[in-house]
């Protein structure tokens, strides 16, 4: 449920961010981007990649949690508070999840940006919609390797992010648990 709600709120923000980041972006500000996209493509343009976003984030989170737990079992089998193991496990989990879901991220980015040069090179007019069409288009643009464009940047971005998230989570779990135990233990 958290992923469904998160993506419903964040998908429009992602569309605006990616369109603003495009080379030669025609938008002068965030507000200009929102207004122009809404006026020229309609409200649906902000959710064109929603199913792809969900299709990416659900497996990302599943892989992320599973790899974190497996890594913790290997390097911290007693599950003690160990910042180094949490950072390392978090980074590894983020890297694996990011790499595994990069093809979905590439398709989502194409749906969000509607990158004109890419679409026109394949004689696609109008707007690209739907995950199946995005997968087909990415393949036509560059075959299998096209699905992994930017994989290194995505992995490098996710590793510190997930390492920090897990280490902060584990710190507060330890702090709260320790604090509760201290309250129960009479001196």
pTM of this structure:
0.79
pLDDT at position 123 is 74
In the chain (187 residues long), the average pLDDT of successive 10-residue segments reads 88 91 87 96 91 88 96 96 97 98 92 74 75 89 94 96 96 88 67
CA-CA distance, 153 to 98, in Å (whole number)?
Answer: 10
pLDDT at residue 34, rounded to an integer:
96
Q: With contact defined as beta carbons under 8 Å apart, do 150 and 106 qualify? A: yes
| Kind and range of the H or E run holding 171 | helix 151-184
Q: What local confidence, expressed as pLDDT, does residue 116 receive?
A: 67
Fold of the CATH domain 1-149: Mitochondrial carrier fold (1.50.40)
* Per-residue confidence (pLDDT) for residue 112, from 0 to 100: 81
Q: What is the pLDDT, as a whole number, of residue 117? A: 67
157: left (phi over 0), alpha (psi -120 to 50) or beta: alpha
Cα–Cα–Cα angle for 130, 131, 133, nearest 5°? 70
The Cα–Cα gap between 155 and 92 comes to: 9
Distance CA 44, CA 97 (A): 28
How high is the pLDDT of residue 187? 58
CA pair distance 106, 103, nearest whole angstrom: 5
86: number of Cβ within 10 Å: 26
């Amino acid at each position: 449920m958290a992923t469904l709600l998160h993506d419903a709120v964040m998908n429009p923000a992602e569309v605006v961010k990616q369109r603003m980041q495009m080379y030669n972006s025609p938008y002068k500000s965030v507000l200009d981007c929102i207004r122009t996209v809404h006026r020229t493509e309609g409200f649906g343009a902000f959710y064109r990649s929603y199913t792809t976003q969900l299709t990416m984030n659900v497996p990302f989170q599943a892989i992320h949690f599973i790899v974190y737990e497996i890594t913790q079992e290997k390097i911290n089998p007693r599950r003690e508070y160990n910042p180094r193991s949490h950072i390392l496990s978090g980074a590894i989990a983020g890297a694996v999840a990011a790499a595994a879901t990069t093809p979905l991220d590439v398709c989502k980015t194409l749906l969000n940006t509607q990158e004109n040069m890419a679409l026109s090179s394949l004689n696609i007019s109008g707007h690209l919609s739907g995950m199946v069409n995005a997968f087909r288009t990415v393949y036509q643009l560059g075959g299998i390797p096209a699905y992994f464009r930017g994989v290194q940047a995505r992995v490098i971005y996710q590793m510190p992010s997930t390492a920090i998230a897990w280490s902060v989570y584990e710190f507060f779990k330890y702090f709260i648990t320790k604090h509760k135990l201290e309250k129960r233990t009479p001196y």
